[in-house]
Amino acid sequence: MGRHVLLIEDEANITEAIRFLLTREGWTVDTHADGRDAIEVIRAAKPDLVILDVMLPGKSGMDILRELRDSDGLRDLPVLMLTARGQSRDREMAEKAGVNRFMTKPFSNAEVVTAVRDLYAQASRT
């Protein structure tokens, strides 16, 4: 069974770093950089997991997360949220909206790989 991540992030250097890390770990990684049509892209890609940046052009990661949690078929999709602002308010908002894991930039490579691995394992058990 393939392990498929959709990374929604508009900073190219972060996108490339995460794609490289996860591909090396055996994941298929698709990327997208725009919040406006992120939900459609998620529906079409049918990933096992979404890595979602809070600050995106067009629509915030928080809004996308809320939409996911309100959508049939996407409600249980594991979401790892990335933010440059590690403020507790962001974290609280994300948790209320139903995020599975929250990570503040800059993060270590090991943190990303571990978080993705953990989320995938949790989702596989349910």
Summarised one tens digit per residue, pLDDT across range 59-109 is 999 999 999 999 999 999 999 999 887 678 888 999 999 999 999 988 999
Closest CA relative to residue 60, chosen from 88, 93, 29: 93
Domain residue ranges in the chain: 4-125
What is this structure's pTM? 0.95
4-125 falls under which CATH superfamily? Response regulator (3.40.50.2300)
C-alpha distance from residue 22 to each of 92, 99, 125 (Å): 27, 20, 21
